[in-house]
């Protein structure tokens, strides 16, 4: 029985999958190869790049397109050599020879590359080896180089420049077509050369790039088609709400789709698959992935510590309108897959949007002594007024010290509140978050099991989740104006999310105002709904 793949390239015999080449315009790609072009394929990590390259290799080596000799090579092994070019080139040539032997049953490189390296040195060995190989084979060579951006400094420059130097000799004396594959487009590389003591632009080191192709995420139809393969083979169904939840939470990011499905289906395989997979099952699987800090999510979270990532993400978290980042910063974060590629500027999907603040507040959350039981009433309901009053007192006493701990200081108050809430809500509920550049606020939706025998303000029956909106704003000018605008926004969010209660939290960061002026709690009624306003 096949299963959902969460590690490495897909194998259609083992894995549910969307055919990799279906996700690209294959005819356009083949046209580039026929036209002897050198080009780039890039996409965020764990999107399906390697699977696509391997599928393309097999197409080029067989069937109607079998007029080429195509070799795939992963050069990541040379990353460990950093800028030590000679051992890096030795690793790359060995990888090429190994792949040619395994894929094409071709020993030519195995026999010649050590001598070529000894004669021409690291600065010319790759180009010479490829030239000799192209001259010795009857069919044009096509070279697929994966993980090209894992190479460092002068090692990367040596590869790019040797490929460029042999470009005019193709196809008889050099590979007809070369595809460089990585997270980023080569034109965006900023390569530090220790030998030249300079920053070299990738576009200048490899100015023969004809085109840059980007592998996108799954479409909504592809996401559903992938899940349908499991249903067809096992009989285990996803409810319509579960299918929508997978799409809504992942926005088609391939690893997330597979990981969510694998998590929930593995659990059902143990507990039985006699009932359909529901939306709640998907959300529970999402929480487990986040709590376990699965490799993909952990790698993404690690990028948050980079300064160019911080410059883009911090104003999203704070809701501010100030842009301190450049177009280059934005393109880099988009290439990582952290930011959506279309407007408005936002985190790519709700799972990433959940991971970001949790990662930034993880250590802070662990430092709190608060226990969920302190804020849960006898009937099991969560006392949000008591909880926010406790946070208000905590913020007054400790905020200056705690906010300074965040590397994202501009979003510090919002992150501190989220850490405080997460510590408590982890005891049985869930927080959903909405934030983005220029919104002027951060929206939090706290979901907690309704009290036994209780009823939501909307009239819904007990047994589901009680919904509470917490809206966060930074005070910039007039307090009255901030409250008026915030109440309107909070009421609107309550209506949109069918929330039973609402809280507006206004952070005053003016060091010239006293805490006595900053701290207050009011309960105005807006459109018949009571909203608590907290000044901090």
Break the chain into its structural domains and give their ranges.
Answer: 20-214, 220-292, 328-347+357-535
pTM over 0.75: yes
Judge contact between 387 and 375, C-beta under 8 A.
yes
**Max Cα separation, the chain?**
85
Per residue in 390-429, pLDDT (tens digit) is 999 999 998 888 887 788 988 999 999 999 999 999 878 9
Output the average pLDDT for the chain. 92
What local confidence, expressed as pLDDT, does residue 268 receive?
A: 60
Q: What percent of the chain has pLDDT over 70?
A: 96
CATH number of 20-214: 3.40.50.300
| 455 has a pLDDT exceeding 60 | no
* Topology alike, domains 20-214 and 220-292: no
Average pLDDT on 5-34 reads 95
275 compared with 31, residue with greater pLDDT: 31
The segment with the largest mean pLDDT, out of 99-108, 189-198, 463-472, 509-518, is 99-108
- In whole angstroms, what is the distance from residue 295 CA to residue 6 CA? 10
The residue among 80, 11, 10, 95 whose CA lies nearest residue 48 is 10
**What would the pLDDT profile of 256-299 be if each residue is shown by its tens digit?**
999 999 999 986 655 566 789 999 999 999 999 999 989 899 99
Q: Supply the pLDDT for residue 55.
A: 97
The residue to which tokens 């929206």 are assigned: 443
Could you read off the pLDDT of 471-491 as tens digits, one per residue? Answer: 999 998 899 999 999 999 999
What was the pLDDT predicted at 166?
A: 97
For residues 493 and 499, the answer to whether their CB atoms sit within 8 Å is yes
Residue 63 pLDDT greater than 80, yes or no: no
- Judge whether 433 and 439 are in contact, CB under 8 Å: no
Give the side-chain half-sphere CA count within 13 A for 408.
Answer: 29
Of 2, 152, 179, 20, the closest CA to residue 82 belongs to 152
CA distance 22 to 19: 5
Closest CA to 49 of 179, 211, 175, 220: 179
On the question of pLDDT at 201 being above 60, the answer is yes
DSSP string across 19-87 = -GGGGS-HHHHHHHHHTT-EEEEE--TTSSHHHHHHHHHHHHTSGGGTTSEEEEEE-GGGGGGTT-HHH
| Res 364: pLDDT | 85
Q: Are 352 and 304 in contact (CB under 8 A)?
A: no
Round to whole Å and give the CA distance between 423 and 363: 11
In this structure, which topology does domain 220-292 adopt according to CATH? Helicase, Ruva Protein; domain 3 (1.10.8)
């Amino acid at each position: 029985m096949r299963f959902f793949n969460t590690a490495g390239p897909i194998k259609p015999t083992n894995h549910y999958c969307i055919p990799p080449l279906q996700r690209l315009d294959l005819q356009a790609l083949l046209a580039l190869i026929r036209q002897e072009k050198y080009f780039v394929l890039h996409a965020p990590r764990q999107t399906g790049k390697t699977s696509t390259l391997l599928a393309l290799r097999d197409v080029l080596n067989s069937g109607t397109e079998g007029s080429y000799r195509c070799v795939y090579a992963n050069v990541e092994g040379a990353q460990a050599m950093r800028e030590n070019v000679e051992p890096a080139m030795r690793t790359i040539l060995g990888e090429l020879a190994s792949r040619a032997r395994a894929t094409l049953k071709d020993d030519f490189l195995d026999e010649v590359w050590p001598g070529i390296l000894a004669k021409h040195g690291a600065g010319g060995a790759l180009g010479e080896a490829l030239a000799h190989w192209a001259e010795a084979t009857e069919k044009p060579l096509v070279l697929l180089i994966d993980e090209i951006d894992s190479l460092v400094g002068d090692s990367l420059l040596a590869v790019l420049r040797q490929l460029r130097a042999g470009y005019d000799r193709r196809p008889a004396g050099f590979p007809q077509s070369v595809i460089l594959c990585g997270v980023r487009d080569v034109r965006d590389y900023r390569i530090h050369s220790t030998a030249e003591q300079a920053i070299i632009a990738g576009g200048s080191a490899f100015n023969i790039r004809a085109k840059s192709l980007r592998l996108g995420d799954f479409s909504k139809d592809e996401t559903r088609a992938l899940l349908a393969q499991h249903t067809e083979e096992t009989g285990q169904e996803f409810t319509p709400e579960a299918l929508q939840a997978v799409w809504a939470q992942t926005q088609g990011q391939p690893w997330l789709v597979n990981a969510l499905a694998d998590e929930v289906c593995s659990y059902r395989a143990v507990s039985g698959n006699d009932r359909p997979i529901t939306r709640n099952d998907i959300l529970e699987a999402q929480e487990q992935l986040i709590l376990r800090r699965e490799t993909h999510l952990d790698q993404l979270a690690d990028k948050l510590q980079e300064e160019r990532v911080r410059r883009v993400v911090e104003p999203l978290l704070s809701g501010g309108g100030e842009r301190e980042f450049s177009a280059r910063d934005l393109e880099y974060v988009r290439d990582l897959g952290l930011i959506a590629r279309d407007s408005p500027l936002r985190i790519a999907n709700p799972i990433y949007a959940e991971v970001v603040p949790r990662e930034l507040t993880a250590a802070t959350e662990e430092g709190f002594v608060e226990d969920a039981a302190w804020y849960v009433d006898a009937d099991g309901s969560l006392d949000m007024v008591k909880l926010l009053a406790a946070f208000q007192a905590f913020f007054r006493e400790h905020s200056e010290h705690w906010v300074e701990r965040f590397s994202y200081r501009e979003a510090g108050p919002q992150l501190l509140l989220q850490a405080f809430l997460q510590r408590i809500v982890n005891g049985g509920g869930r927080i959903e978050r909405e934030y983005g550049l220029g919104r002027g606020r951060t929206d939090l939706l706290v979901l907690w099991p309704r009290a036994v025998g209780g009823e939501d303000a909307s009239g819904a029956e007990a047994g589901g989740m009680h919904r509470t909106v917490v809206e966060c704003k930074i005070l910039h000018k007039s307090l009255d104006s901030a409250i008026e605008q915030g109440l309107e926004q909070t009421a609107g969010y309550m209506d949109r999310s069918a929330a039973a209660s609402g809280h507006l939290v206004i952070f005053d960061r003016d060091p010239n105002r006293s805490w006595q002026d900053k701290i207050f709690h009011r309960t105005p009624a807006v459109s018949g709904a009571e909203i608590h306003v907290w000044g901090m």
